[in-house]
Each structure stands twice: as structure tokens, then as C-alpha cells.
Amino acid sequence: MQIDRAEISRYLGYGRRVPDPAVSRKIEEAVALLEQKAAPHALWAAYPVSIADATVKLGPLSVQSAALSRHLRGCVQACLFAATLGPAPDRLQQKAEVQNMALALTLQAAAAAMIEAYCDEEAERLAAHFAPKKLYLRPRFSPGYGDFPLSFQPVLLRALDAPKRIGLTCTQSCLLAPTKSVTAVIGLSAAPASAQTACAGKCASCENKTCPYRLS
């Protein structure tokens, strides 16, 4: 897995600027720790999709979301997807918060970049799996995007048996634990995603136009 150092810098607030050497060394320290300690795991399951107005049905599951409905328009199936780096990144960050706050902040950014890189890697595996069936992946669309409710988080986790299989749970407020984890719905269509959607990824689907981390 290749962790994008530019992405880490962006999460640290540098935008497109190159961080100074001291920060770059701290980034490498954080990446080395995460590569040693993190334990990435992922799960997915494919379901047929049906859409009626803002109601999306994924096999036996149903959710109200106009944003998800738009995102999955034209899809014949969708995957429920979950991925985690395991508990180690949280422990590393908690320890660093006591001893070295600069490292703690860098670990936070590096772990965010690492889970994104891992999800992209898993998406490539999914694409290869569905290619013989002439099905193409849409970008990941996670609970919390637009009006896709966070309350779908525990529903998705139960459907995948994620707590038992990869140790991924959520709190009463529907936040994932371990924190460096991702859940998403990934549409599968008979036609490739448009070049704009494929390149922009999740930012193209996000309605927060003022996000400081927005790529497009």
C-alpha cells in the first residue's frame, strides 16, 4: 500500500505547499509507525439496487436519501463496504498525545491518508472482481454524505457482521470505532462512471462546497 505523502500534508493544512523538512521527517516517522502497527481489514457484500424517488433499497435494506439515490442512479447492484486499520492507530495517537503532540497530529493525518489508500486498493480488487461481469464501480458514498444518514452506519455494520469479522463497531452516536475506518455504499453499473465522477471521487459526491480539503 502506497501512502500519499502529499495527502498527509493536505490533511495537516499545507494544501498544495511542500512542508518544511522537520514536518516531512515527522510524516515519515508517523508513516513508519503505522506501517508497522496497523492491521487493515475489509469486507463487502453485493446486493441488487432499486430506487423509488429518495428511497434506496439494497437487497433487504432500505434507506431514505436523495443524495444516495442520485449517486446510485443507473446502478444494477451496490456493495456495502467496510474497512478498518484496526485499533493500533488510535492507541498510537493516544500515546503520542501525552508525549509528543506534533507526532499525534501527524499520526492523525497519516492514518487518514492510510485508510483512504487502503480503501482505494480494495476498490481496485472489487473492480477486478466485477470486471468479468461487465460491471463498473461508482465512487464510495459513505453515511454522512449529504442526506445519507449516519444512522445507517449500524445497519450496514450488522449486514456485514463487521463487529465479529473485523472488529468494527460504532458508538451510540454512530461514529466508527476504531476511528480510522470507513463504511460506504459502492454502486455497480453496466456503464463506466463519467470521467469527472471517476476522477473527483468522493469530493464530486459531497455537498460541502466549502470544505478546506476539497479537491475539486
For residues 87 and 91, give the distance between their C-alpha atoms in angstroms, rounded to a whole number.
6
Higher pLDDT, 202 or 74: 74
* Per-residue pLDDT at 199 exceeds 80: no
Which domains can be identified in the chain, with CATH numbers? 5-205 (3.40.109.40)
* Per-residue pLDDT at 190 exceeds 50: yes
> In this prediction, what percent of the chain has a pLDDT beyond 90?
84
For residues 20 and 146, give the distance between their C-alpha atoms in angstroms, rounded to a whole number.
36
Q: What is the pLDDT of residue 191?
A: 87
Q: What is the pLDDT of residue 208?
A: 56
Average pLDDT, the chain: 91
Residue 10 backbone dihedrals phi, psi, to 5 degrees = -65, -45
For residues 121 and 115, give the distance between their C-alpha atoms in angstroms, rounded to a whole number.
10
The set of cell numbers assigned to 38 is 496497523
* Per-residue pLDDT at 194 exceeds 70: no
The pTM (predicted TM-score) of the whole model is: 0.89
